Protein backbone atom coordinates (compact mmCIF):
# COMPACT_ATOMS: atom_id res chain seq x y z
CA UNK A 1 0.00 0.00 0.00
CA UNK A 2 1.52 3.35 -1.02
CA UNK A 3 1.68 6.47 1.15
CA UNK A 4 -1.40 8.72 0.68
CA UNK A 5 -0.75 12.03 -1.14
CA UNK A 6 -0.50 15.29 0.76
CA UNK A 7 -3.97 16.70 1.58
CA UNK A 8 -4.99 19.66 -0.59
CA UNK A 9 -5.48 21.82 2.50
CA UNK A 10 -1.78 21.58 3.44
CA UNK A 11 -0.71 22.35 -0.12
CA UNK A 12 -3.02 25.38 -0.18
CA UNK A 13 -1.65 26.54 3.18
CA UNK A 14 1.93 26.45 1.89
CA UNK A 15 0.98 28.35 -1.27
CA UNK A 16 -0.89 31.05 0.68
CA UNK A 17 1.93 31.49 3.21
CA UNK A 18 4.45 32.00 0.43
CA UNK A 19 2.16 34.57 -1.20
CA UNK A 20 1.68 36.50 2.04
CA UNK A 21 5.28 36.51 3.24
CA UNK A 22 6.90 37.00 -0.14
CA UNK A 23 9.61 34.37 0.32
CA UNK A 24 9.88 30.68 0.96
CA UNK A 25 12.24 31.17 3.91
CA UNK A 26 9.80 33.42 5.79
CA UNK A 27 6.82 31.27 4.87
CA UNK A 28 8.55 28.11 6.11
CA UNK A 29 9.46 29.82 9.38
CA UNK A 30 5.88 31.03 9.85
CA UNK A 31 4.50 27.50 9.36
CA UNK A 32 7.21 25.80 11.44
CA UNK A 33 8.41 23.77 8.44
CA UNK A 34 11.76 23.22 6.78
CA UNK A 35 12.24 24.95 3.43
CA UNK A 36 12.43 21.59 1.66
CA UNK A 37 9.06 20.54 3.13
CA UNK A 38 7.51 23.85 2.07
CA UNK A 39 8.87 23.48 -1.46
CA UNK A 40 7.49 19.95 -1.64
CA UNK A 41 4.05 21.22 -0.67
CA UNK A 42 4.22 24.03 -3.23
CA UNK A 43 5.04 21.46 -5.92
CA UNK A 44 2.05 19.45 -4.81
CA UNK A 45 -0.08 22.63 -5.06
CA UNK A 46 1.02 22.97 -8.68
CA UNK A 47 -0.02 19.37 -9.34
CA UNK A 48 -3.41 20.16 -7.81
CA UNK A 49 -3.52 23.35 -9.98
CA UNK A 50 -4.17 25.44 -6.89
CA UNK A 51 -4.00 29.23 -6.82
CA UNK A 52 -3.45 31.62 -3.87
CA UNK A 53 -6.61 32.26 -1.92
CA UNK A 54 -8.41 35.42 -3.04
CA UNK A 55 -8.09 38.44 -0.78
CA UNK A 56 -4.62 37.69 0.61
CA UNK A 57 -2.63 40.83 1.46
CA UNK A 58 1.03 41.46 2.07
CA UNK A 59 1.40 42.64 5.70
CA UNK A 60 4.23 44.94 4.55
CA UNK A 61 1.79 46.93 2.36
CA UNK A 62 0.72 50.13 4.25
CA UNK A 63 -2.53 50.28 2.26
CA UNK A 64 -3.56 46.92 3.73
CA UNK A 65 -2.83 47.93 7.33
CA UNK A 66 -6.33 49.13 8.22
CA UNK A 67 -7.95 46.06 6.66
CA UNK A 68 -5.57 43.78 8.52
CA UNK A 69 -6.34 45.50 11.85
CA UNK A 70 -10.08 45.13 11.30
CA UNK A 71 -9.65 41.46 10.41
CA UNK A 72 -7.52 40.77 13.47
CA UNK A 73 -9.98 42.54 15.75
CA UNK A 74 -12.77 40.37 14.35
CA UNK A 75 -10.71 37.22 14.87
CA UNK A 76 -9.91 38.33 18.42
CA UNK A 77 -13.59 38.70 19.25
CA UNK A 78 -14.28 35.22 17.91
CA UNK A 79 -11.32 33.80 19.83
CA UNK A 80 -12.51 35.39 23.08
CA UNK A 81 -15.95 33.87 22.60
CA UNK A 82 -14.40 30.47 21.92
CA UNK A 83 -12.12 30.86 24.95
CA UNK A 84 -15.14 31.41 27.18
CA UNK A 85 -16.73 28.21 25.88
CA UNK A 86 -13.49 26.26 26.40
CA UNK A 87 -13.23 27.60 29.96
CA UNK A 88 -16.76 26.41 30.69
CA UNK A 89 -16.00 22.93 29.31
CA UNK A 90 -12.76 22.78 31.27
CA UNK A 91 -14.62 23.71 34.45
CA UNK A 92 -17.00 20.81 33.89
CA UNK A 93 -14.18 18.37 33.10
CA UNK A 94 -12.14 19.76 36.00
CA UNK A 95 -14.97 18.94 38.38
CA UNK A 96 -15.10 15.45 36.96
CA UNK A 97 -11.34 15.14 37.39
CA UNK A 98 -11.50 16.12 41.04
CA UNK A 99 -14.22 13.54 41.53
CA UNK A 100 -12.42 10.55 40.04
CA UNK A 101 -8.75 11.36 40.57
CA UNK A 102 -8.63 10.52 44.28
CA UNK A 103 -7.07 7.14 45.03
CA UNK A 104 -10.17 5.03 45.71
CA UNK A 105 -8.83 1.51 45.54
CA UNK A 106 -11.32 -1.35 45.72
CA UNK A 107 -10.77 -3.84 48.55
CA UNK A 108 -9.01 -6.44 46.40
CA UNK A 109 -6.19 -4.06 45.52
CA UNK A 110 -5.19 -3.57 49.14
CA UNK A 111 -6.22 -6.71 50.98
CA UNK A 112 -7.11 -9.70 48.85
CA UNK A 113 -8.46 -13.06 49.95
CA UNK A 114 -6.07 -15.46 51.57
CA UNK A 115 -7.63 -18.60 50.11
CA UNK A 116 -4.88 -21.13 49.22
CA UNK A 117 -6.41 -21.78 45.79
CA UNK A 118 -6.20 -18.16 44.62
CA UNK A 119 -3.19 -17.62 42.32
CA UNK A 120 -3.32 -13.87 42.95
CA UNK A 121 -4.45 -10.74 41.12
CA UNK A 122 -3.93 -10.55 37.34
CA UNK A 123 -2.70 -7.36 35.69
CA UNK A 124 -3.42 -6.77 32.01
CA UNK A 125 -1.36 -3.78 30.90
CA UNK A 126 -2.86 -1.74 28.04
CA UNK A 127 -0.70 0.90 26.35
CA UNK A 128 0.64 2.13 23.02
CA UNK A 129 -2.41 1.38 20.88
CA UNK A 130 -1.82 4.44 18.64
CA UNK A 131 -5.44 4.52 17.49
CA UNK A 132 -5.77 6.18 14.11
CA UNK A 133 -2.27 5.37 12.86
CA UNK A 134 -1.70 3.32 9.72
CA UNK A 135 1.26 0.94 9.33
CA UNK A 136 1.88 0.07 5.69
CA UNK A 137 3.15 -3.51 5.24
CA UNK A 138 4.77 -2.62 1.90
CA UNK A 139 7.13 -0.25 3.72
CA UNK A 140 8.36 -2.78 6.31
CA UNK A 141 8.79 -5.96 4.24
CA UNK A 142 5.28 -7.13 5.08
CA UNK A 143 6.01 -8.04 8.72
CA UNK A 144 3.08 -6.04 10.14
CA UNK A 145 -0.01 -4.09 9.19
CA UNK A 146 -2.13 -1.76 11.32
CA UNK A 147 -5.22 0.40 10.99
CA UNK A 148 -8.45 1.02 12.88
CA UNK A 149 -10.05 -2.22 11.75
CA UNK A 150 -7.02 -4.26 12.81
CA UNK A 151 -6.92 -2.41 16.14
CA UNK A 152 -10.51 -3.53 16.84
CA UNK A 153 -9.61 -7.11 15.90
CA UNK A 154 -6.52 -7.15 18.11
CA UNK A 155 -8.35 -5.61 21.07
CA UNK A 156 -10.98 -8.34 20.93
CA UNK A 157 -8.34 -11.05 20.57
CA UNK A 158 -6.34 -9.55 23.44
CA UNK A 159 -9.15 -10.03 25.95
CA UNK A 160 -9.99 -13.50 24.66
CA UNK A 161 -6.35 -14.66 24.84
CA UNK A 162 -5.74 -13.10 28.27
CA UNK A 163 -8.78 -14.82 29.73
CA UNK A 164 -7.73 -18.12 28.13
CA UNK A 165 -4.26 -17.90 29.68
CA UNK A 166 -5.72 -17.10 33.10
CA UNK A 167 -8.12 -20.04 32.79
CA UNK A 168 -5.14 -22.34 32.21
CA UNK A 169 -3.66 -21.19 35.53
CA UNK A 170 -6.94 -21.25 37.43
CA UNK A 171 -9.73 -23.21 35.68
CA UNK A 172 -12.15 -21.95 38.34
CA UNK A 173 -11.04 -18.35 37.64
CA UNK A 174 -10.43 -17.90 41.35
CA UNK A 175 -9.34 -14.27 41.07
CA UNK A 176 -10.53 -11.43 43.34
CA UNK A 177 -10.48 -8.98 40.43
CA UNK A 178 -8.20 -7.64 37.72
CA UNK A 179 -5.95 -4.58 37.43
CA UNK A 180 -5.89 -2.90 34.01
CA UNK A 181 -3.31 -0.08 33.84
CA UNK A 182 -3.85 2.33 30.96
CA UNK A 183 -0.31 3.47 30.18
CA UNK A 184 -0.77 6.17 27.53
CA UNK A 185 -0.23 6.62 23.80
CA UNK A 186 -3.66 5.17 23.28
CA UNK A 187 -4.07 7.46 20.24
CA UNK A 188 -1.63 8.26 17.45
CA UNK A 189 -2.09 12.04 17.56
CA UNK A 190 -0.57 14.65 15.27
CA UNK A 191 2.75 15.27 16.96
CA UNK A 192 4.73 14.53 13.78
CA UNK A 193 4.10 15.83 10.27
CA UNK A 194 4.09 12.32 8.83
CA UNK A 195 1.33 11.26 11.25
CA UNK A 196 -0.78 14.29 10.32
CA UNK A 197 -0.46 13.30 6.67
CA UNK A 198 -1.06 9.55 7.03
CA UNK A 199 -3.32 8.94 10.06
CA UNK A 200 -6.50 7.13 9.12
CA UNK A 201 -8.60 9.18 11.57
CA UNK A 202 -7.84 12.30 13.59
CA UNK A 203 -7.48 12.59 17.36
CA UNK A 204 -11.09 13.22 18.38
CA UNK A 205 -12.56 10.39 16.26
CA UNK A 206 -9.79 8.18 17.69
CA UNK A 207 -10.92 9.04 21.22
CA UNK A 208 -14.50 8.05 20.34
CA UNK A 209 -13.31 4.81 18.74
CA UNK A 210 -11.27 3.92 21.83
CA UNK A 211 -14.12 4.87 24.14
CA UNK A 212 -16.35 2.33 22.40
CA UNK A 213 -13.71 -0.43 22.42
CA UNK A 214 -12.57 0.08 26.02
CA UNK A 215 -16.12 0.33 27.32
CA UNK A 216 -16.78 -3.12 25.89
CA UNK A 217 -13.53 -4.49 27.32
CA UNK A 218 -14.23 -3.15 30.82
CA UNK A 219 -17.78 -4.51 30.79
CA UNK A 220 -16.49 -7.95 29.76
CA UNK A 221 -13.78 -7.94 32.44
CA UNK A 222 -16.30 -6.92 35.10
CA UNK A 223 -18.53 -9.81 34.04
CA UNK A 224 -15.64 -12.29 34.28
CA UNK A 225 -13.61 -10.99 37.25
CA UNK A 226 -16.16 -9.05 39.30
CA UNK A 227 -13.90 -6.03 40.01
CA UNK A 228 -11.70 -3.93 37.72
CA UNK A 229 -9.16 -1.35 38.90
CA UNK A 230 -7.71 1.03 36.28
CA UNK A 231 -4.73 3.28 37.14
CA UNK A 232 -4.15 5.73 34.27
CA UNK A 233 -1.30 7.91 32.97
CA UNK A 234 -0.94 9.84 29.73
CA UNK A 235 1.59 9.32 26.96
CA UNK A 236 3.38 11.72 24.67
CA UNK A 237 1.44 11.02 21.48
CA UNK A 238 -1.94 12.20 22.74
CA UNK A 239 -0.84 15.76 23.47
CA UNK A 240 -2.29 18.80 21.71
CA UNK A 241 0.84 20.90 22.31
CA UNK A 242 4.00 21.09 20.19
CA UNK A 243 6.14 19.73 23.04
CA UNK A 244 5.09 17.76 26.09
CA UNK A 245 4.26 20.00 29.04
CA UNK A 246 5.48 19.44 32.61
CA UNK A 247 2.64 21.60 33.95
CA UNK A 248 -0.86 20.48 32.99
CA UNK A 249 0.57 17.45 31.19
CA UNK A 250 -2.68 15.53 31.57
CA UNK A 251 -4.95 18.46 30.76
CA UNK A 252 -3.36 18.86 27.33
CA UNK A 253 -3.71 15.18 26.42
CA UNK A 254 -6.44 13.29 24.59
CA UNK A 255 -5.42 10.22 26.62
CA UNK A 256 -6.60 12.02 29.76
CA UNK A 257 -9.86 13.05 28.11
CA UNK A 258 -10.49 9.42 27.12
CA UNK A 259 -9.90 8.27 30.71
CA UNK A 260 -12.30 10.88 32.04
CA UNK A 261 -15.01 9.82 29.60
CA UNK A 262 -14.57 6.20 30.68
CA UNK A 263 -14.56 7.11 34.37
CA UNK A 264 -17.79 9.03 33.92
CA UNK A 265 -19.32 6.09 32.05
CA UNK A 266 -18.65 3.75 35.00
CA UNK A 267 -18.91 6.19 37.92
CA UNK A 268 -22.06 4.52 39.31
CA UNK A 269 -20.67 1.00 39.00
CA UNK A 270 -18.96 0.16 42.30
CA UNK A 271 -17.15 -2.74 40.66
CA UNK A 272 -15.08 -0.39 38.48
CA UNK A 273 -12.57 2.06 39.94
CA UNK A 274 -10.42 4.54 38.05
CA UNK A 275 -7.29 6.15 39.49
CA UNK A 276 -6.30 9.17 37.38
CA UNK A 277 -3.63 11.21 39.20
CA UNK A 278 -2.80 14.74 38.10
CA UNK A 279 0.92 13.99 37.72
CA UNK A 280 2.80 11.81 35.27
CA UNK A 281 3.07 8.77 37.60
CA UNK A 282 0.47 6.56 39.28
CA UNK A 283 1.43 4.84 42.54
CA UNK A 284 -0.68 1.90 43.77
CA UNK A 285 -0.51 -1.43 45.60
CA UNK A 286 -1.69 -4.95 44.97
CA UNK A 287 -1.78 -6.60 48.37
CA UNK A 288 1.43 -5.19 49.91
CA UNK A 289 3.33 -5.10 46.61
CA UNK A 290 3.90 -1.51 45.44
CA UNK A 291 3.88 -0.48 41.79
CA UNK A 292 4.69 2.75 40.01
CA UNK A 293 3.05 3.29 36.60
CA UNK A 294 4.53 5.82 34.18
CA UNK A 295 4.45 6.14 30.41
CA UNK A 296 8.21 6.08 29.84
CA UNK A 297 8.70 9.09 27.55
CA UNK A 298 10.77 10.85 30.24
CA UNK A 299 13.65 8.46 29.56
CA UNK A 300 16.07 9.34 26.77
CA UNK A 301 18.81 7.50 24.92
CA UNK A 302 19.60 3.87 24.17
CA UNK A 303 21.97 2.16 21.76
CA UNK A 304 22.19 -0.74 19.37
CA UNK A 305 23.53 -3.19 21.94
CA UNK A 306 21.39 -2.81 25.07
CA UNK A 307 18.51 -1.05 23.34
CA UNK A 308 16.27 0.95 25.69
CA UNK A 309 17.44 -0.78 28.88
CA UNK A 310 20.06 1.85 29.69
CA UNK A 311 17.79 4.91 29.77
CA UNK A 312 14.90 3.01 31.34
CA UNK A 313 17.00 1.62 34.20
CA UNK A 314 18.60 5.04 34.79
CA UNK A 315 15.16 6.64 34.83
CA UNK A 316 13.84 3.99 37.18
CA UNK A 317 16.73 4.60 39.56
CA UNK A 318 16.01 8.35 39.58
CA UNK A 319 12.35 7.74 40.34
CA UNK A 320 13.25 5.35 43.17
CA UNK A 321 15.55 7.96 44.69
CA UNK A 322 12.91 10.68 44.35
CA UNK A 323 10.15 8.53 45.85
CA UNK A 324 12.34 7.27 48.71
CA UNK A 325 12.77 10.84 49.91
CA UNK A 326 9.01 11.19 50.46
CA UNK A 327 8.29 7.67 51.78
CA UNK A 328 6.71 6.44 48.52
CA UNK A 329 9.07 3.59 47.71
CA UNK A 330 7.93 1.00 45.18
CA UNK A 331 9.08 -2.45 44.15
CA UNK A 332 8.37 -2.52 40.40
CA UNK A 333 8.03 0.23 37.81
CA UNK A 334 5.81 -0.47 34.80
CA UNK A 335 5.90 1.63 31.65
CA UNK A 336 5.15 1.60 27.94
CA UNK A 337 6.44 3.93 25.21
CA UNK A 338 9.34 1.77 23.99
CA UNK A 339 7.23 -0.84 22.13
CA UNK A 340 9.43 -3.66 23.41
CA UNK A 341 8.23 -6.24 25.89
CA UNK A 342 10.67 -6.54 28.82
CA UNK A 343 9.86 -8.21 32.14
CA UNK A 344 12.43 -7.97 34.93
CA UNK A 345 11.95 -8.14 38.68
CA UNK A 346 12.14 -4.38 39.17
CA UNK A 347 10.89 -3.33 35.76
CA UNK A 348 8.12 -4.22 33.31
CA UNK A 349 8.04 -2.58 29.86
CA UNK A 350 4.95 -3.15 27.76
CA UNK A 351 4.81 -4.08 24.12
CA UNK A 352 2.61 -2.21 21.64
CA UNK A 353 -0.76 -3.26 20.26
CA UNK A 354 0.29 -1.45 17.08
CA UNK A 355 3.38 -3.60 16.67
CA UNK A 356 6.37 -3.02 14.38
CA UNK A 357 6.20 0.15 12.27
CA UNK A 358 8.07 2.26 9.74
CA UNK A 359 9.95 4.18 12.44
CA UNK A 360 11.30 0.96 13.98
CA UNK A 361 12.16 -0.44 10.55
CA UNK A 362 14.02 2.66 9.36
CA UNK A 363 15.85 2.81 12.72
CA UNK A 364 16.95 -0.84 12.32
CA UNK A 365 15.32 -1.79 15.63
CA UNK A 366 14.79 -5.51 16.31
CA UNK A 367 11.46 -6.93 15.26
CA UNK A 368 8.87 -7.07 18.03
CA UNK A 369 5.45 -8.71 17.50
CA UNK A 370 2.43 -6.81 18.81
CA UNK A 371 1.72 -7.81 22.39
CA UNK A 372 0.54 -6.59 25.78
CA UNK A 373 1.88 -7.66 29.17
CA UNK A 374 -0.04 -9.93 31.54
CA UNK A 375 1.14 -11.15 34.95
CA UNK A 376 -0.06 -12.21 38.40
CA UNK A 377 0.70 -10.67 41.79
CA UNK A 378 0.40 -13.17 44.63
CA UNK A 379 -0.33 -12.16 48.23
CA UNK A 380 2.68 -14.13 49.49
CA UNK A 381 4.99 -14.66 46.51
CA UNK A 382 4.52 -11.27 44.80
CA UNK A 383 4.94 -11.40 40.99
CA UNK A 384 4.65 -14.99 39.79
CA UNK A 385 3.29 -15.90 36.35
CA UNK A 386 4.42 -13.68 33.46
CA UNK A 387 2.59 -14.06 30.15
CA UNK A 388 2.92 -11.69 27.20
CA UNK A 389 -0.32 -11.77 25.21
CA UNK A 390 0.43 -11.80 21.49
CA UNK A 391 -2.31 -10.29 19.37
CA UNK A 392 -1.21 -10.66 15.73
CA UNK A 393 -3.06 -13.11 13.53
CA UNK A 394 -1.58 -16.52 14.23
CA UNK A 395 -0.92 -19.24 11.69
CA UNK A 396 -2.13 -22.75 12.40
CA UNK A 397 0.25 -24.56 14.80
CA UNK A 398 2.59 -27.08 13.24
CA UNK A 399 2.27 -30.81 13.86
CA UNK A 400 5.79 -31.15 15.19
CA UNK A 401 6.46 -33.33 18.24
CA UNK A 402 6.17 -31.59 21.61
CA UNK A 403 9.88 -32.14 22.21
CA UNK A 404 12.74 -33.45 20.06
CA UNK A 405 16.53 -33.83 19.96
CA UNK A 406 18.95 -33.94 17.01
CA UNK A 407 19.22 -37.27 15.25
CA UNK A 408 22.37 -39.26 15.94
CA UNK A 409 24.76 -39.36 13.02
CA UNK A 410 26.91 -42.41 12.21
Give the tens place of pLDDT for each residue, 180-235.
999 999 999 888 888 888 889 999 999 999 999 999 999 999 999 999 999 999 99
CB–CB of 129/185 below 8 Å?
yes
11 falls in which pLDDT band (50, 70, 90)? confident
Map residue 382 onto helix, strand or coil: strand
Quick: pLDDT tens for 72-96: 666 666 656 555 554 555 555 555 5
Estimate the crossing angle of helix 24-31 against helix 8-21, to 10 degrees: 130
Cα–Cα distance, 369 to 373 (Å, whole number): 12
What does the pLDDT read at residue 57? 58
Query: Of the ranges 13-22, 51-60, 307-316, 391-400, which one carries the lowest mean pLDDT score?
Result: 51-60
Question: What's this model's pTM, rounded to 2 decimal places?
Answer: 0.72
What does the pLDDT read at residue 273? 94
What does the pLDDT read at residue 374? 98
Region 108-115 average pLDDT = 49
What percent of the chain has pLDDT above 90? 51
283 falls in which pLDDT band (50, 70, 90)? very high
Of the candidates 312, 183, 189, the residue with the CA atom closest to the CA atom of residue 243: 189
Beta bridge partners of 390: 371
Beta bridge partners of 295: none
DSSP code of residue 191: S
What does the pLDDT read at residue 274? 95
Give the CA-trace dihedral at 244, 352, 331, 283, to 10 degrees.
50
The angle at the Cα of 383, spanning 381 to 384, to the nearest 5 degrees, equals 80
Amino acid sequence: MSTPPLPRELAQQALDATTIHGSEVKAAAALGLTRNTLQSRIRRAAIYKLKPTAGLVDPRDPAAKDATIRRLESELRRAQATSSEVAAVREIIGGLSAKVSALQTPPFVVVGPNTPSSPGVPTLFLSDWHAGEVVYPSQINGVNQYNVEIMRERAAGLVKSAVHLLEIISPKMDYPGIVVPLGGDMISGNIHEELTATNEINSMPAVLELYSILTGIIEELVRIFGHVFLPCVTGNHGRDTRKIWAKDRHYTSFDWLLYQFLARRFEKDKRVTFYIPDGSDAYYRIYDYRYLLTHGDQFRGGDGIIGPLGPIIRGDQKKRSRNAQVNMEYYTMICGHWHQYIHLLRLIVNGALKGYDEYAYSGNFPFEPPCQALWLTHAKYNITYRMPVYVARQEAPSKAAWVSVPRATS
